[in-house]
Amino acid sequence: MKFLDLCKVYIRSGSGGNGCISFRREKYIEFGGPDGGDGGRGGDVWAEAVDGLNTLIDFRYQQHFFADNGRPGAGRQRTGADGEDIVLRVPVGTEILDEDEETVIADLTELGQRVLLAKGGNGGWGNLRFKTSTNQAPRRSNPGQEGVERTIWLRLKLIADVGLLGLPNAGKSTFLAATSNARPKVADYPFTTLHPNLGVVGVDDAEFVVADIPGLIEGAHEGRGLGDLFLGHVERCAALLHLIDGTSGTLLEDYQTIIDEIEAYGAGLADKPRVTVLNKIDALDDEERAFLKEELERKTGHEVMLMSGVSGEGLTEVLRTLRKHVKITRKREEATEETQPWQP
């Protein structure tokens, strides 16, 4: 299935039905009076986060969603039928943005969460509503209220606990394949990964979700390579895993490139807990490992872990460290939500 995480959608709620002008016409009833019914209400447009979806590909083939109009009223005080609502079924983690692509209308982060995007128009009144003691035969009715038409953007940000960062060929997909049942494409050329992959990783009877995104290069925030289009998928992560290719001849420059790119992107990525790992140590001897680890720690200012996604060396220790960061961050987020005042 093709991956799609941003799309433009046109929606329109239903218009209300017109009210009816009608009078009773029954034998032996000389003064029947008005009996025109009201119009039906137009259908609403909703968005709902559903299970089983991880891409917005369905919206590539259908971009227009129109709810049904309400039916007009009829004689004998009959109200028109309401229009059917329409529901946009989107993956969990979908942001709904206004036409300017900046104003967030809603953020559907929980399964079953629903939001009203366009309210249907009310039905018009029939002439029965206008009957008074001084106007017992009104010949007027109201038209139905017009529906709401708007353009919105859907942007998917995958729900994951840990996000993988690194240059192309840093070993991110190999790490995901070695620690989960995910089977991302792995090859020895840059930009093997062209769209994000998710994998469920387990360690010490605990599980968390890891997101592998396409590699960044210098100037990604300016659109070089695949750009930073996929960095949005790690915005929701509790921790970041920064993998550095131990066989690279420009180790420190590689590290700084990624740091510069996430700082240029913003959205709080640079402030997230980050685990720095020297990868591909199976190709290094003990002396090289110690030297590169010391150089990297001097550059980063914090501990650097050693790992090989191919041989599995150091994998368990890295997973345990990530699990610890995820647990701490999620607890902090829950405590923050509990202390925030309730908003109606």
Integer CA distances (angstroms), 251 to 11, 38, 164, 218, 219, in order: 50, 74, 17, 14, 18
Same domain (yes/no): 30, 169: no
| Digitized pLDDT (tens) for each residue of the chain, 344 residues in all | 467 889 999 999 999 999 999 998 888 877 788 999 999 999 999 999 999 888 898 998 999 999 999 999 999 999 999 999 999 999 999 999 999 988 999 999 999 999 999 999 999 999 999 999 999 999 999 999 999 999 999 999 888 899 999 888 888 888 998 888 777 767 665 666 677 888 889 888 888 999 888 888 777 766 666 667 788 888 889 999 999 998 888 889 999 999 998 998 888 888 999 999 999 999 889 899 999 999 999 998 889 999 998 888 999 999 999 999 999 988 888 887 666 554 44
Residue 331, annotated ligand binder?
Answer: no
Same domain (yes/no): 111, 189: no
Same domain (yes/no): 114, 229: no
Res 29: pLDDT: 77
Final residue of a structural domain among 133, 156, 179: 156
Final residue of a structural domain among 136, 156, 176: 156
Q: How many domains does the chain have?
A: 2
Strands 114-118 and 45-50: antiparallel
Q: Which are the contacts of 309, defined by CB distance < 8 A and separation ≥ 6? A: 171, 174, 175, 177, 178, 279, 280, 315
Q: What CATH number does residue 294 fall under?
A: 3.40.50.300
Separation CA 228–CA 57 (nearest Å): 20
Nearest to 96 by CA among 50, 25, 47: 47
Q: What CATH number does residue 105 fall under?
A: 2.70.210.12
Res 54: pLDDT: 82
Distance of CA 253 to the CA centre of its chain: 33
Q: Which are the contacts of 261, defined by CB distance < 8 A and separation ≥ 6? A: 216, 218, 220, 221, 228
Residue 195, annotated ligand binder?
Answer: yes
Residue 92, annotated ligand binder?
Answer: no
Residue 197, annotated ligand binder?
Answer: no
Residue 308, annotated ligand binder?
Answer: yes
Same domain (yes/no): 138, 199: no
Residue 279, annotated ligand binder?
Answer: yes
> Which two three-digit tokens encode residue 183?
């089977």
Residue 168, annotated ligand binder?
Answer: yes
Same domain (yes/no): 242, 101: no
71 and 39 Cβ atoms separated by less than 8 Å? yes
Residue 232, annotated ligand binder?
Answer: no
Residue 34, annotated ligand binder?
Answer: no
Final residue of a structural domain among 128, 156, 184: 156
Same domain (yes/no): 18, 134: yes
Q: For residue 179, what are the domain limits?
A: 162-339
Residue 100, annotated ligand binder?
Answer: no
Local structure of 115: helix, strand or coil: strand
Separation CA 200–CA 209 (nearest Å): 5
Same domain (yes/no): 104, 170: no
Residue 344, in any domain of the structure: no
Long-range residue pairs from 229-233, CB within 8 A, at least 24 positions apart, any chain: 229/5, 229/6, 230/5, 230/195, 230/196, 231/262, 231/265, 231/267, 231/269, 232/5, 232/155, 232/157, 232/267, 233/5, 233/156, 233/157, 233/158, 233/160, 233/163, 233/196
Residue 214, annotated ligand binder?
Answer: yes
Same domain (yes/no): 152, 166: no
Res 324: pLDDT: 93
Residue 175, annotated ligand binder?
Answer: no
Separation CA 218–CA 190 (nearest Å): 14
Residue 169, annotated ligand binder?
Answer: yes
Same domain (yes/no): 82, 3: yes
CA dihedral for 220, 225, 230, 234, sign (positive or negative): negative
Residue 124, in any domain of the structure: yes
Residue 328, in any domain of the structure: yes
Residue 280, annotated ligand binder?
Answer: yes
Q: Would you tell me the crossing angle of helices 286-300 and 251-265 to the nearest 10 degrees?
A: 30
Residue 262, annotated ligand binder?
Answer: no
Residue 171, annotated ligand binder?
Answer: yes
Res 319: pLDDT: 94
Single pTM value for the model:
0.80
Residue 11, annotated ligand binder?
Answer: no
